[in-house]
Amino acid sequence: MLRKRNNQRIYADFKQAAALLHDDLVWSNDMEAIRRPLARYIANRAADGLNNDVDLIEVVQALIADENDVTVTY
């Protein structure tokens, strides 16, 4: 059950990262050329869940980190 939940979380993270790459993230001009292909690649790998390479999972986590930051500052 825990593995299934972790796979679902990774799937959701990958889909979120792909959507950010497609629409929201601002990239420098030199990185713009890889933005959409990277989004497609990440979206296509989402179903692999925990079977994805740990480095790719780390890239996805880095892409969505600011988007998912719920830090409250006073």
**Is 7 domain-assigned?**
yes
- Compute φ and ψ for 69, nearest 5 degrees: -70, 120
> How far is it, in rounded angstroms, from Cα 47 to Cα 51?
9
Burial class (CB in 10 A: 0-12, 13-18, 19+), 72: exposed
Residue pair 17/65 in contact by the 8 Å Cβ criterion: no
pLDDT attached to residue 12: 95
Tokens of 70: 């719920």
Domain count, the chain: 1
Angle between helix 29-45 and helix 54-64 axes, rounded to 10 deg: 120
Residue 69 has pLDDT above 90, yes or no: no
Structural domain that includes position 24? 2-64
Would 70 be classed as within a structural domain? Answer: no
pLDDT tens for each residue of 22-61: 876 677 787 888 888 999 999 999 999 999 999 999 999 9
